[in-house]
Structure 1
Amino acid sequence: MKHIETKTSLVAHLQGAGVKPGDTLFVHTSLSKLGWVCGGAQTVIEALQDTVGPDGLIMMATQSSDNSDPAEWEAPPVPVEWWPTIREEMPAYDQEKTPTRGMGRVPELFRTYPNVFRSDHPMWSVAAWGNGAEEIVAGHTLEVGFGPGSPIERMIERNAKILHLGSPLDATTLWHYAEYGIDGPVKSFGCALYEDGARVWKTFDHTDVNSDPFGPIGENIVRRADVTTFHIAEATCYVIPSETWGPVQHALIALRSWLR
């Protein structure tokens, strides 16, 4: 490891990229790409907090994909004969207890941080800290997912900046908003949650969100003049305005038309 980062140096990188006090950020991270960070995930979180200050807002995806229908699992799959048991025994989503899966070390720590509020969605939760954090994650029901009425829409309404710190572009949670209202497919999902105080297995129909196209679409998006690209160690980092969900939606429409 040839590169060291500290809270001081990370704040300097963020400020140099145009992140300022009062900003609203939807943050995606890859801690391993940032070099050797003195203090690890804690340092990254506190650098973000120090940069935007108490008037700013930070959100991260804290999804819990373990809490899903085992019939859909691929990495790894489980035997078919296990499916009924998993549906019967999977712990119900709990904002405080349920861990993230595949989100990385920074969001997993962030969800436990003081004054961080986590949304109610049992599969696709988000967590937020800062100005209006509790209000922005409220009302995140099964039906809204990433679409109208969700915390994702509220971040767009607040002109959030998308911040990538070494993470792949196909992880851009905010762009899922573009998948609504474009005649996309609907599928059935399942998860464990509390309903009237009792643990239940719930199935629901929802837009079939799919981040696979986001990588190639994102490679074009980050060429825009209003996107800032910078580097920290091995991490290629971006500050992207939330308005890019519109171009992403147009690209998804074109892609689906071509596939038909």
Structure 2
Amino acid sequence: MLQTSSPYLLTKEDMETSDRLPSWLQEEYQTFKHVVTNPEFPCFFGMKAQRKGELRYSYITHDHWDHLGGVLESFLHLMAEPPFTRHGLFLFVEPEAREQSVDYYRSYFWEVLQHLHEQDRYSWPGDKPKDPDHFLWDYHFAGEPVFVFGNAPAYKQRKTRDLGNSLILGFQPRAIFEGLEGTEKGGIMSREKVRARVEKWDNLPTHPDISHFGDPTHNEWKQFFIGDDIKPIEGKCPFHHKDV
């Protein structure tokens, strides 16, 4: 059974009124809020969810990750409860003393996902690929497919991925995309609108690794942490399935 609650799974009210949160988290949340609620911010789904209090949040310091599995389990449990709101989870990482490179934050991002995978109490679904190079591979936790994307201060061109001084991981269960899948009309239209807004905000073309899940020419893992450029990501995925 999924863990149903975690003191580290935080609401908008917690983030804005609690006196038990680290000062760095309070500061980074205010920056995040300012960026995401900007009327010109490309992702109107995220903007709406932030304003309505539908997002959830958590955080880790560099030496304390033990609660991560419980946070994600609690979040997935919330997703399965009425009224079945399309929540997103944003995980704030304690900022570095000095800003680092995109490669550094990307490596840290994959370390977090690998840690979660190693701590996962549930089996990877038997009918789902374990090899990230398979075009139908997707990240799973507690048996659920989850899209994860990284944001970091090192992004200078792709400003939509700079949400403050923290590395921030966004977790979106695949369930929230129901009706917005790759080949569905609603999904195509929504993606086109968001991507047009992203291109305008970033003043860059859509990254070549961005596509839709199920595209046989696409590797899902590559769009988890895209480059600050228009160059396709090369090399192998840093994620390794624990049973392979």
Global fold match (TM > 0.5): no
TM-score w.r.t. the length of structure 2 is 0.30
Larger-Rg structure: 1
Q: Which has the higher strand share?
A: 1
